Chains A and B, each alone.
Chain A
């Protein structure tokens, strides 16, 4: 039911003129994809610095709250560009993207990481500034930073794996994996 609904929306998107134009345009598609990948340097670059600071592995003698506060804005700008280009990439190839197991893992993880980020900021304001000059943040903030680092690393890996056709619907027999990927029995468009 859920998979059928997603598939119907993907087919509808795929039939739009702009979707075809985007994925048929060699330069436009590659520019969007390159921007999506290169924005890693801004968004994840800033995020990794914040997380590594919390763990005491980077910039340990710079106050942690300064790092988190000052690098937040460029990180969010990077994430915004990343989300926009990510949506465009999905729109360019909607059927295959919506039926990618890697895309689904990536989206679930990103939801978890979003919740983690909200909790992290709440814990940070609750923790006060007594630990600010310490090389390592309090334990609950370190756990949040570790989850963030590991989670985003898996997100990047899943994003890379989307490009490979190991679990594409046309190569899978019906079963658990096929259903998790969102494959529809008898579908003719991939």
Chain B
């Protein structure tokens, strides 16, 4: 079985491999070719129902932006409460496992909201964002964050935390806060660019 060959850290190793492949891709000439090849897809996005609605009705676009921000607030709450608990700064009188697992549910709902509204918003301004480097930084950050959350952080937290090095938990919490605030900041910066 491939999973057993990689030992108990199979998902972590796979996530690291994906990260390395992504870095190799980013630094190679293949990136430019793929970027050029994606233009027709982004042009098509603007012709979809979402794209037309986003471009035609400014109020709809602005309302979806607001829902996106509300999803961001919820994601921030879930991340800060869970990671704050791992860092022993908030909810210290509640078991870590309980806080993290309950916050994960909130995180998932926030993520679904953010992706759904994000796709709608992207359709309305697809060609514009295609040419914005900061949009691609955000997508890279989002992919790294999602991989980290689901394939590194969650498997570690699924173990008995008494057997996990406390510094690893703290480092993971700091990394999680940093990656999600970076994704949010690059998202905000899209609005200032172009």
Give A residues with C-beta under 8 Å from B.
30, 33-34, 37-38, 40-49, 52, 58-63, 66-67, 70-71, 73-74, 153, 156-157, 160-161, 163-164, 166
Complex CA distance for A52 and B109, rounded to whole angstroms: 13
A45 touches B78 (CB 8 A): yes
Render B43-81 as a binary contact track against A, CB cut-off 8 A, 1 for contact: 000000000000000110011011001101111111111
Residue B184, interface by CB 8 Å: yes
Q: Which of B96-104, B123-131, B135-143 contacts A (4 or more CB under 8 A)?
A: B96-104
Cα A184 to Cα B145 with chains together (Å): 49
Q: Closest residue of chain A to B90, judged by CB?
A: A70
Closest to B177 in A: A41
Which of the segments B4-12, B159-167, B185-193 contacts the partner chain?
B185-193
A76 → B minimal CB distance (Å) = 13
B111 near A: Cβ within 8 Å? no
- Count A/B pairs, Cβ under 8 Å: 107
Report the interface size class on chain B. Answer: 35 or more
Residue B181 lies at the interface, judged by CB distance under 8 Å to chain A: yes
Interface pair A40/B73, CB less than 8 Å apart: yes
Find the residue from A34, A60, A61, A70 having the highest chain B CB count within 10 A. A70
Which B residues lie within 8 Å of A156 (CB)? 66, 69-70, 73
Whether B31 sits at the interface, judged by CB under 8 Å, is: no
Is the CB–CB distance between A62 and B98 below 8 Å? yes
Is the CB–CB distance between B106 and A58 below 8 Å? yes
Q: B69 to A74, Cβ gap below 8 A?
A: no
- Whether the pair B185, A46 counts as a contact (CB closer than 8 A) is no
CB nearest neighbor in B for A73: B90
For residue B84, which residue of chain A has the nearest CB? Answer: A74
Given A45-B73, A62-B91, A164-B62: A52 and B80 interface contact (C-beta under 8 Å): no
Q: B33 at interface (Cβ–Cβ under 8 A)?
A: no
